[in-house]
Chain A
Amino acid sequence: MAEQIIFFILAVAIALFSVLAVTSKRIIRSAIYLLFVLVATAGLFLMLHYHFLFAVQVTVYAGGIMVLFIMAIFLTHRPGEIVDRRTNRKVKSSMLLSFGGLIVCGYIIVQNVTRTYSYVKEYEMKMQDIGYAMLGTGKYQFLLPFEAISLLLLACIIGAIMIARKEKSVESTDNKDLDK
């Protein structure tokens, strides 16, 4: 019973804050609502007994990505600035699309998924098992995607630096223009 109550609170928080995050007029509030959604998702992982995933979600998403978002918002917007949205017609059509998809997929889920689960209670994964599965080369082991992700992170670091650095020549011409 307690589990159901906790799940209900987390589910209501996720639904409410994810809708608020995409409809809020002030962009910094959207970022904070997104932070609440991410933390509530970490709570869902904890309810599924995935403790490692919970830790990764809190550190990477709610820690790292949210800091990136907030710093980017502070670098590119005045705080408290109201950002306007698209035209009314666009809002209506995309709301129609979202609600239609929500209803269709929700109908499919409610009709088909209710009888088909088998939940093993109090089954907790050991950290050693996760480590062996992540760094093994056998069947159901994940060394290759792990290495691919490490290469991707390296490429991402280099790409982000390449994109965000200031170009020297453009900078100097801009300064000349300002001087005139």
Chain B
Amino acid sequence: MDTSKLLENLKSNQYNINLGGLEITISDSIVVMWMIMIVIIALAYVLTRNLKPIPEGKQIAAEYIVETINSFFKQTIGHHWKPFAPYLGTILIFLVFANTVSLFNIIPSGELLYSLTHFEIFKHFHFHVSPPTKDINITAALAVMSIFLVIGSGIIIKGPIAFLKSFFEPLWIMLPFKILDYFSRPLSLCMRLFGNVFAAYVLMELIYMIFPLIIPAIFSIYFDLFDGGLQAFIFVFLTSIYISETVE
């Protein structure tokens, strides 16, 4: 068993797109994110089409999802939950899809396609549907969005002066630690999500290399479904805890 094959799998493709003189690099994780976006937008469209006052069929499912998310944030954020529930719910749904997307890795490898069809395009085609959150850039972006939401909610709901005062709240000596909090929180949010998803992805790749059949399915229940769902939940839960700490 060699590690070079594992490293080959971990490498992400980079596509360069030229937009009128502007060079844009698009990685595999962005492409997977686009796929997830298509699925979520299609689901949202299908589930919310012709809503009725008395719910039936798929509307019950949609209302159940929204009600669950709302009641969860009512519990964690407190009575300022209303403006945050749509954003945090969106992040939760996106992360649940993003962390468990490797279950749908049904695209065959380039060599297999080439040996079957003998098309030249497939020869250098390495595309895996891997979780986009195993890319540290995406989790960093999500964490920065979360911390901006926390700071913004403090400024808007408490008012700028009361927010600045909260830095000196129990004692003025706490000031450096309170400032440090706003750097260590996004760092730990980013690293927690990235580390968990990446570690699960590497372990699953190793298991696929050793036992290609049946046994990965058992591990996949833990690493893809349970861990992915739990990490998505933890990310949103910690963000809402930070918001409730700032707002109260």
Partners in one complex: no
Interface residues of B (CB under 8 A from A): none
Interface residues of A (CB under 8 A from B): none
